[in-house]
Amino acid sequence: MIAKHIKNLAPSGIREFFDLVLGMSEVISLGVGEPDFITPWRIREKAITALEEGLTSYTSNKGLFSLRKAISDFYEKRYSLKYNPEEEILISVGVSEALDLSLRAILEPKDKVIVISPHFVAYPALTEIIGAKPIYLVTRQEENFKINLKELKRLILQKPKAIILNNPTNPTGVVYGVDELKEIWEILKKTDTLIISDEVYDEINYVGKPFPFSLVSKNAKEKTILLNGFSKAYAMTGFRVGFACANKEIISAMTKIHSFSIMCAPIISQIAAIEAFKAQKELMQMKNEYKRRRDFIVRELNRLGLKTIKPDGAFYCFSLIEKYKLDALEFAKRLLFQEKVAVVPGTAFGKEFSKFIRISYANSLENLKEAIVRIERFLKNIC
C-alpha cells in the first residue's frame, strides 16, 4: 500500500528512541528538543482573548497581515533588513513546514542539497521525500563541529541546488559568528546554490547577537530563504507557528504549495505570535536560565570524562562517549533502562556519530543535577 520511497525512508532516530521512553516512569528526559518553560503568560493571554472574541476563522494563505507586518518591522528595526510583508513573508506551521515548503518549492528530483552533519533529523528526510539527494558535509569535534571550508569548496563542485545552514546549530550548539558566515558566503556567492538558513535558535545565543545570513552581504538576501519561528525562543512549540522570508518568487511558490496542503497556520497561534515580539524580558529570563544550566552540565559531563565542547547557542550538548566502548544506541538504551535517563544517540543526527550522545539541557537544574548523579553511577558500572 505504501509508496516505495516512503517505505525506504528511515524513521526519525529521536522518535524511534523515545517510543521506548513512553510508558516508563521516573525518567529524566534530556532527549526531546523543546523548552521546559510554559509559554509566557502575556502570549497565552492574547490567545485566550482571541478565542473569547470568537476569532476562529481561516486567515489569508500567507498568514495574518498584522503578523507579517510585525515580523517585517522586527527585522527592519533590529537589523535594517527589509522584507516586504505583502510578498516576501509567509507564515507557516512551525519552521518544520517552512523547511518542507522551501525544499519543495526549489528542488527537482535528483537535485543535490548540502546538509551539514550532525544535522537536524528533518533535513535529509524532507530532501529525500522529494526524490532529491542530501550530500553531507561531516563536521568533527576536533574542529569544534564547524564547517570545514575546504570540504565546502569540494562539495560545491557537485553543483548543489541548495545548502541548509542552521545557526545556532542543533545538535551541537555551534554558533557561527559574522566573520565565519562571511567566509561561507565567499564560497557560495560564486555559485547558483540557494541558502536555506534555519535560524530557529537565533535568540538562544550566549556569545553574541543573532545575525541573519541574509545580512552577510548585499547580494546574500536574494539567494537566501530565511526560516525562523516562535517555538524555541518563546517556548511556543505547541502553537506551531513559524515563518519564511525570501524573494517574492520563492515566497509565491511556497505559498502555492502551502495554500493547497495547509491553507493557513492556525489563527489563534498567529495572534499569539504577534505578542511574542513584546515578550523580550521573558525571553532574556529563559535564556539566562539555559545558560546557567549549560555551564553546570558541560562542567559535569567533562568531569565524568564525556568530552563536551561548551555550546555557544541552542540548548544541546553533543558529548563524546568513545571512552566507554559502547555504541551510542546501546549506551543510550542501557542508560535509559538502568538509570532512567533519556538522551539521544548521536546516530540520529548522522551515521558517523555512533560515539556521541545529544543531551538537551532544557530541563530544570534540579533534574540536571539528579541526571548527573545517575549518569555517574551508570558510568562506574560499565567501566
Ligand X SMILES: Cc1ncc(COP(=O)(O)O)c(C=O)c1O
Binding site for ligand X (CB under 6 A): 33, 94-96, 120, 166, 170, 198, 200, 229, 231, 237, 242
Helices (H), 224-308: 248-261, 267-276, 280-303
Cell (9 digits) for 111:
537535485
Of 220 and 265, which has the nearer Cβ to ligand X? Answer: 265
Closest CB 204 distance from ligand X, rounded Å: 11
What's the closest the beta carbon of residue 318 comes to ligand X, in angstroms?
13
Q: Which residue of this chain has its Cβ atom nearest to ligand X in the complex?
A: 94
Cβ atoms within 10 Å of 23's Cβ, excluding its own: 7
Q: Which of 337, 301, 336, 334 is nearest to 320 (CA)?
A: 301
Tell me how far apart the alpha carbons of residues 11 and 382 are, in angstroms, rounded to a whole number. Answer: 29
For ligand X, the closer of residues 185 and 234 by Cβ is: 234
Angle at 220 (CA atoms; ends 214, 222), nearest 5 degrees: 95
Tell me 93's DSSP state.
S
Identify which of residues 21 and 326 has a Cβ nearer to ligand X in the complex.
21
Q: Which residues contact 44 (CB under 8 A, 6 or more apart)?
A: 38, 272
What minimum distance in Å lies between the beta carbon of 229 and ligand X?
Answer: 4
Q: Which is nearer to ligand X, 166 or 193 (CB)?
A: 166
Our CB check for ligand X shows the closer of 64 and 265 to be 265
Nearest Cα residue to 343 out of 321, 310, 313, 364: 321
Nearest distance in Å: CB 38, ligand X:
16
Shortest CB 338 distance to ligand X, Å: 27
C-alpha cell, 334: 542501557
